[in-house]
Amino acid sequence: MQAEVLVSIAHHQVDKVFYYNIPPSLAGRVQVGSRVLVPFGRRKIEGYVVGLNPAPNQEELKDLAALLDEDPVFTPLQLALARWMAAYYLCPTVKALRAIIWPLLQIKGPKKVKGLWPAVCGNVPDPRRAPKSAAVWEVIQARPGLTRKELAEAAGVSPRVVDSMVARGLLTSKERIELRDPCRNLPEKRSFPPVLYGEQLRAVKKIIEALDKNDGRHVFLLHGVTGSGKTEVYLQAIAAALNRGKQAIVLVPEIALTPQMIDIFRSRFGHQVAVLHSRLSDGERYDEYHRLRTGEAKVVLGARSAIFSPLEKPGLIILDEEHEPSYKQEESPRYHARTVALRLAGYTGAVVVLGSATPSLESYCQAAGGGTYQLLELNQRVGELTLPSVHLIDLRRELRKGNKGIFSEALQEAITDRLSRREQVILFLNRRGYSTLVVCRECGLVLKCPHCDISLTYHASGRLRCHYCNYSVMAPSLCPGCGSHYVAYLGMGTQKVEQEIRRLFPAARVLRLDSDTVGRRGAHREIIETFREGEADILVGTQMVAKGLDIPGVTLVGVINADISLHMPDFRASERTFQLLTQVAGRSGRGKKKGEVMIQTYSPEHYAITCAQNHDYRGFYRREMAMRRALGYPPFTHLARLLVTGKLEREVQEAADFLAQAVRTTNAPVELLGPAPAPIGRIKDRYRWHLVLKAPVQNFLREAATAALNDFYNMSNYRRVQVSIDIAPQSMM
């Protein structure tokens, strides 16, 4: 027998299968999915078995050096995905594979403990004659696998009772992988499905029909306004999938994966849910992974990478907030979870549900423009609720009135009004820190990060911070350029908004939610819970307040400055702005009282803003599609981006020129934009240039990029320069 092995060197030039002989000591234990150690050159390195070959090859093969785990680390389905990802995103296969199985690779050796199980033919203890044993028996039936101590504790008896039951053969003990108490976070209460209203019911029915057809051709776009009850549609679709013996994957953007969201799923599906997110410890993640592999958990709720969960055969895949940019991984492999989900559904026949109040243009045109998706709509909010009324506040007029503050008069009045009525307020500004620009008024020097082409943000701690590399330094009292005292702090962040609010409304109880305040484990939950329980009046925050929060007390949302995202040098700036405004506005008026939204802006005529004001998704879609068509941007064309980075600017520029020349000489019919410095010209001491390729067919892009990169590796000498390929880029920065 010989093994086909992918070695763990992520480079295009070793991206192929190597063959090794399986020595007799390992015969029968090595399988597809095994992690092994192989001799490679003069070293021994890790590798992954991707095939077994009974016919021995002619050549003399080296032996596998060792088998690293008894159990395989990936499934055939995961391998298929890795191979597809490598071809689609032009990355080394082993890199794709490692991105898929990383939760397993974090762990050195799983800890084993002794668990207890009810013996198969044990006599059931009689509750009247042996109440303690009976209590233990009841617990172990419901939760087999508990340790001696856990079991005694759960049954409220001394461990000696458990021991005697083991001695009498009522319980058997087996080794199992330690699970970090999977019951720890189970909500006390179970929730039961509410009666669906008309549009919800119709949506669920359509999804169930597709589940029953089982032909793998169903992608639904669930377009439901904010507060329309999309989550309930997911829950009932999942219940239907479980009833049919199927498994489900639910993806949620990382910042929307709040403890509340997790509770909603756990209180409906209990232990059947495994949760995967970045705040888990490696051990906890491993345990959830293990529960999925053994089939104990049948629903996975997680962020982007949960799409790679080791489920045997997912039958339903849901992406909530499908338009979210965070579904794209911004490092190699630069995959988009939506694209992977569609591919995975192709392999398993799963039904896909993409949900959003503001679908991406790419998805909506597949659903509305005669594409391959089916559109499901929820046009109204649950119950008697209506969408909030949205007012635009022209900040230019405010200045003319002499108001130079952060808050317009109207917004201040509205806040005063809510405070007096004991209703709650959310204030949104998509920038953290105190001042986002520190500049000398005499010589004009802007304080920038020494490692990045980014201005430093002043934080209330008195330090300046780079939001790209986290460099920080005490704020100087004099200009480091000319020694002037006149250093101005311009551009506000959430800390300043919080401070101003406290100054203007000293009696109000204020909380702030941004990545600076959620550092500590559990802090995120605490802030949201405190606010939900009505123990605070005003919540100030970044994007984190815009997504998914369902807090009935909120009747006013204030957007401090809508223009920040509007003027990004990115062709999706309008789309992002419209989405963000619609999402944050949607947090208002979800309780019994009608909600209001105030958007402060210098561009009150811009269609991204007026359409958000009017809750007019279709209007926005029409305007933006016309723009994209005119400029030749997606979804009318396909893009790829080659990003060139290195420590020496001259080399980076020359390498970018070389690549551009290589692209021009390929036969693939692609249009080339650039090379040019990327909008952020330097990050972490690396200069950045990029080339953007455009084509009517995505494969032309792959052809051109592959050919250019081959030339680059074979013919150029820029060894210190890195080139990364991004197929269907989401960020152009």
Ligand X SMILES: Nc1ncnc2c1ncn2[C@@H]1O[C@H](COP(=O)(O)OP(=O)(O)OP(=O)(O)O)[C@@H](O)[C@H]1O
Question: Which residues, including other chains, have CB under 8 Å from residue 198's CB and lie 6 or more apart?
Answer: none
200 binds, among ligand X, Zn ion, none (CB under 5 to 8 A by kind): ligand X
CA triple 576-578-584, angle to 5 deg: 95
- Is 121 flagged in the annotation as binding? no
Contact of residue 548 among ligand X, Zn ion, none (CB under 5-8 Å per partner type): ligand X
For residue 525, the number of C-alpha atoms closer than 13 Å in the C-beta half-sphere is 10
The answer to whether 482 is a known ligand-binding residue is yes
Cβ(64)–Cβ(111) under 8 Å?
A: no
**Binding segment (CB under 6 A) for ligand X, from list 114-122, 221-229, 486-494, 678-686:** 221-229
Q: Find residue 645's DSSP bridge partners.
A: 688, 722
Cβ nearer to ligand X, comparing 256 with 449: 256
Q: Interface with Zn ion includes 471 (CB under 5 A)?
A: yes
Q: What character string, x for contact with ligand X (CB under 6 A) and - otherwise, covers 164-203?
A: ------------------------------xxxx--x---
611 annotated to bind ligand: no
Told to check if 180 binds Zn ion by CB under 5 A, we report: no
Total of residues contacting ligand X (CB under 6 A): 18
Q: How far apart are CA 594 and CA 422, in angstroms?
A: 14
* 651 alpha-carbon distance from chain centroid: 34
Determine the straight-line distance between the first and last CA of the chain, rounded to whole angstroms.
Answer: 50
Q: Indicate the SS3 state at residue 733.
A: coil
674 in contact with ligand X (CB under 6 A): no
Do strands 351-356 and 299-302 pair parallel, antiparallel, or not at all (unpaired)?
Answer: unpaired
Q: Is 452 annotated as a binding residue?
A: yes
- Segment 342-381, which members bind ligand X (CB under 6 A)? 357
Determine, following the binding rule CB under 6 A, whether residue 45 of this chain makes contact with ligand X: no
Q: Which does 194 bind (CB under 5 to 8 A by kind): ligand X, Zn ion, none?
A: ligand X
Find the shortest distance in angstroms from Cβ 657 to Zn ion: 26
Which member of 484, 530, 706, 710 binds Zn ion (CB under 5 A)? 484
At its nearest, how many Å lie between ligand X and the CB of residue 428? 14
> Does 452 help bind Zn ion (rule: CB under 5 A)?
yes
DSSP string, 191-231: --PPPPPHHHHHHHHHHHHHHHH-SS--EEEEEE-TTS-HH
In the stretch 524-563, what mask flags binding to ligand X with x, by CB under 6 A?
A: ------------------------x-x-------------
Task: Residue 502: count other Cβ atoms within 10 Å of its Cβ.
Answer: 15
Question: Residue 139: in which H helix or E strand, if any?
Answer: helix 131-142
Q: How far is the CB of 322 from ligand X (least distance, A)?
A: 11
Q: Which is nearer to Zn ion, 141 or 470 (CB)?
A: 470
For the chain, percent helix, then strand, then coil, each to nearest 5?
Answer: 35, 25, 40
Distance of CA 379 to the CA centre of its chain: 26
> What whole-number distance in Å separates Cα of residue 35 and Cα of residue 3?
11
Complex with ligand X: residue 224 or 595, whichever CB lies closer: 224
345 touches 217 (CB < 8 A): no
239 belongs to the binding site for ligand X (CB under 6 A): no
Q: Which residues are annotated as a binding site for Zn(2+)?
A: 440, 443, 449, 452, 466, 469, 479, 482
Which residues sit at the interface with ligand X, rule CB under 6 A?
194-197, 200, 224, 226-232, 357, 382, 548, 550, 586
Q: Which residues are annotated as a binding site?
A: 440, 443, 449, 452, 466, 469, 479, 482
Which residues sit at the interface with Zn ion, rule CB under 5 A?
440, 442-443, 445, 449, 451-452, 466, 468-469, 471, 479, 481-482, 484
